[in-house]
Amino acid sequence: MLTTVLAFIVTLGILIVVHEYGHYRVAVACGVKVLRFSVGFGRVLLRWQKHPEATEFTVCALPLGGYVRMLDEREAPVPANEVHRAFNRQPLSRRAAIVAAGPAANLLLAVLLYAASHWIGIDEPKAVLATPPAGSLVEAAGLRSGEWVRAVAPDGSDDWQDVASMSDLRWRITQAALHGEALRLQVSDRDGRGSRNVLLDLTTLAVRDVDAALMKRIGLVGSWSEPLINRVEAAGPAAKAGLQRGDRVLAIDDQPVADAGQVIDRVRASAATEGATPMRWRIERAGQVLDVTVQPRIARDGERRFGRIDAQFPSPEMVKVRYGVVDGLLRGAARTWEISALTVKMLGRMLIGEASLKNLSGPLTIADYAGQSANQGFAYYLGFLALVSVSLGVLNLLPLPMLDGGHLMYYIVEAATGRPISERWLERLQRGGIALLLTMMSVALFNDVARLLGLH
């Protein structure tokens, strides 16, 4: 819990400071006087100012945002000798540059964070497939448990791209699914022997949510790991059945087992009835084949029931994904562009009803993921921070009043008409923008709570 809170505070602090620093730095470069640089809103907790005429830097009690207050005749009288430093007196190009600098700073930060994550390197599961669910696209394509996806290419193209890990494979397939494109996969066995090409027809999917359910429909439910018992907890169902460390599971209820994921799924499904159903296991131990009966216990997660046997299986094989300085930067820029395009696409689809509003996330989800990524390691946390930085940059560029994109929209109208939008219309647009933002925040918070309660 403490890690989650600290990671969330650090995440907000870094992203807010970088965003506002973008506005501040370009304003100063354009000769505009900055009165205050604030992290947070409300009561001032910390204050620093070099001298009375310099910018005042503050940290306030409510940390969900920040602002840069510039000299502006629309907000307060400006001395005649400083009128030339007022924001509202600047040429249109300078005002637009100052406003756009905040989101641009977040996007640039994302490039650097993704690059740093690539430079450090991340341990990720190898792109070896677990048993695909029945009826999934992966199963329909003829892919099998234990096959290693080495590269992917759009259908009809020979532009093969190497697949670095299971996370990389998920990302490429998700993008293809959202674009309604088929994808060719180059696969071999998990040791790299043999090679064949398989067509994954993603054009049949109607994608509304990018979530675990989508991955299950596609057939990417996890990475392959051996059906080998790694640990047995004392007095648990596995121990009572006589299972031991090193036992290899060959079949359950006369159905062959290809990987640990199948074992786990069948154990969990055993609690579908009131009492967990006993299971007949065939195992291999020290070269001998044995039959044992395993009686799972029932566990609960809220209203959900599932079976457990209190035994563990090996983790999937991991690979270190790391790139050099130049390649890391290029991949950081590419990933930032891909995430930005995906964010805009999903927002557009939500707007026209082709994607669910469940895809909106709020501060509780961000805090949860911040804690999880921090626990996984520094490189993972940098990747998470980059993702949120991209989202903040893109969202602020939306043409909504109260956001930077809304101000840029005003400037586009001013450039087209030769005069600024009237104060009357500005006031109306601001009210509409506040109402829309509050609605979006309410939906995002509702989704957060629903996810925590297991309703999504």
Co-location of 455 and 327 in the same domain: yes
What pLDDT score was predicted for residue 346? 78
CA distance 260 to 282: 14
pLDDT band at 222 (very low <50, low <70, confident <90, very high): confident
Co-location of 161 and 114 in the same domain: no
147 is catalytic: no
Q: Would you say 23 and 100 are in contact if contact means Cβ atoms under 8 Å apart?
A: no
What pLDDT score was predicted for residue 367? 64
The tally of domains found in the chain comes to 3
Co-location of 387 and 410 in the same domain: yes
Q: Which amino acid is at 297?
A: R
Reading the block at residue 209, the tokens are 């949510």
Co-location of 114 and 141 in the same domain: no
pLDDT band at 356 (very low <50, low <70, confident <90, very high): low
Residue 175, domain member (yes or no): yes
pLDDT band at 355 (very low <50, low <70, confident <90, very high): low
Domain CATH number, residue 160? 2.30.42.10
Co-location of 293 and 361 in the same domain: no
**Is the confidence at residue 106, as pLDDT, over 90?**
yes
At which of 259, 285, 300 does a domain end? 300
Q: Percent of the chain scored above 90 by pLDDT?
A: 49
Most confident residue range from 148-152, 166-170, 434-438: 148-152
Number of other CB atoms surrounding residue 51 within 10 Å = 5
Co-location of 236 and 352 in the same domain: no
> Which residue in the block uniquely carries the two structure tokens 């007949």?
280
What pLDDT score was predicted for residue 439? 77
Segments in 377-422 forming alpha helices (H):
378-396, 404-417
**Is the confidence at residue 371, as pLDDT, over 90?**
no
pLDDT band at 427 (very low <50, low <70, confident <90, very high): confident
**Is the confidence at residue 449, as pLDDT, over 90?**
no
Reading the block at residue 235, the tokens are 């007095």
Look at residue 80 and give its three-state secondary structure: helix
Backbone angles phi, psi at 129, to 5 degrees: -75, 140
Co-location of 214 and 256 in the same domain: no
- Pairing between β-strand 279-285 and β-strand 288-294 as defined by DSSP bridges: antiparallel
Residue 73, domain member (yes or no): no
Could you give the C-alpha distances from 14 to 106, 332, 385, 447, in angstroms and in order?
10, 18, 9, 25
What pLDDT score was predicted for residue 17? 93
49-58 pLDDT per residue, tens: 998 889 999 9
Q: Which helix (H) or strand (E) segment is 290 a member of?
A: strand 288-294
What pLDDT score was predicted for residue 288? 93
Average pLDDT of the residues of the chain: 87
**Is the confidence at residue 421, as pLDDT, over 70?**
yes
Question: Domain range for residue 163?
Answer: 137-218
Reading the block at residue 210, the tokens are 């990018």
Co-location of 237 and 209 in the same domain: no
What pLDDT score was predicted for residue 207? 66
272-315 pLDDT per residue, tens: 766 678 899 999 999 999 999 999 998 877 677 888 999 999 98
Residue 101, domain member (yes or no): yes
The average pLDDT across 198-227 equals 82
**Is the confidence at residue 454, as pLDDT, over 60?**
no
What pLDDT score was predicted for residue 10? 85
Q: Which amino acid is at 408?
A: L
The least confident of 12-16, 97-101, 374-378 is 374-378
Options 20, 147, 233, 274, the catalytic residue: 20
pLDDT band at 435 (very low <50, low <70, confident <90, very high): confident
Co-location of 334 and 254 in the same domain: no
Residue 455, domain member (yes or no): yes
Cα maximum dimension of the chain: 94
Beta strand extents in 218-278 (DSSP E only): 231-232, 248-252, 255-256
Co-location of 408 and 456 in the same domain: yes
More confidently predicted of 446 and 58: 58
**Is the confidence at residue 366, as pLDDT, over 70?**
no
What pLDDT score was predicted for residue 279? 92
What pLDDT score was predicted for residue 423? 76
The average pLDDT across 45-73 equals 91
pLDDT band at 443 (very low <50, low <70, confident <90, very high): confident
232-268 pLDDT per residue, tens: 999 899 999 999 999 999 999 999 999 999 999 899 8
Cα 190 to chain centroid, rounded: 28
**Is the confidence at residue 157, as pLDDT, over 90?**
no
Co-location of 101 and 203 in the same domain: no
What pLDDT score was predicted for residue 281? 95
What pLDDT score was predicted for residue 90? 94
CA distance 118 to 446: 34
At which of 300, 332, 351 does a domain end? 300
The average pLDDT across 186-197 equals 90
Q: Percent of the chain scored above 70 by pLDDT?
A: 91
Residue 84, domain member (yes or no): no
Residue 26, domain member (yes or no): no
Residue 65, domain member (yes or no): no
Reading the block at residue 408, the tokens are 């840029």
pLDDT band at 345 (very low <50, low <70, confident <90, very high): confident
Co-location of 174 and 255 in the same domain: no
Q: Which residues, at least 6 apart from 164, have a Cβ–Cβ distance to it below 8 Å?
A: 124, 127, 319, 321
The average pLDDT across 65-83 equals 91
Residue 226, domain member (yes or no): no
**Is the confidence at residue 139, as pLDDT, over 60?**
yes
